[in-house]
Amino acid sequence: MTLATREAKLERPDDFYADLLAAHDGLCKAESDAFNARLILLMANQIADRETLKALLSEARKR
């Protein structure tokens, strides 16, 4: 599967980014890394499609 677009699909992506940064406030590097890992697993569970997840992993690796 390939991703058709990189366009933002979030209604207000800047607000989500601000929320994400705020969620990291007060965390040390190790805590921040652990938070990111948990968040990725929660989001992957919501996506729930292995082919989509594999495509996203591939896309993220290109950056």
Q: pLDDT by residue for the chain (63 residues), tens digit each? A: 556 567 778 899 999 999 999 999 999 999 999 999 999 999 999 999 999 999 999 988 986
Domain ranges for the chain, please list them: 27-63
Please work out, in degrees rounded to the nearest 5, the angle formed at the alpha carbon of residue 62 by the alpha carbons of 34 and 15. 55
By C-alpha distance, which of 23, 54, 55, 18 is closest to 36? 23
What is the reported pLDDT for 9? Answer: 86
What is the reported pLDDT for 15? Answer: 96
The pTM score is: 0.81
User: How far is 44 from 56, CA to CA, in rounded Å?
Assistant: 10
